[in-house]
Amino acid sequence: MPEPAEVAMTDTAVKAVAEPDLDEELLNEAQRQIAGSSRNATLNEALRRLVEEERAKRQAALERLQRMHDEGLFDYSRLDAADE
């Protein structure tokens, strides 16, 4: 049987992980907008949308840089001068 101090520490650790400190108003608004069936579903959908949005931003930035490179808009000679 575990020592009483071990049980208390385990309960505290589990509760801290199981009950994150969330902005309830923000979560409720997200649940309305997403039409999430549960808090967990809402959080997962919100995280999925955030990740997809950030990936799209990075992809668009990479494509802009590639177009700039293809159009010759970068002056690489300045890099050589900086090394001297």
What pLDDT does 36 receive? 85
Count of structural domains, the chain: 1
pTM of the prediction? 0.63
For residue 65, tell me if it sits in a domain: yes
**Domain range for 48:** 23-83
* 58 belongs to a structural domain: yes
2 has a pLDDT exceeding 70: no
CA-closest candidate to residue 46, choices 58, 57, 59, 36: 36
Minimal CA–CA distance to 45: which of 56, 34, 58? Answer: 34
- Model pLDDT for residues 37-69, shown as the tens digit of each residue: 999 999 999 999 999 999 999 999 999 999 999
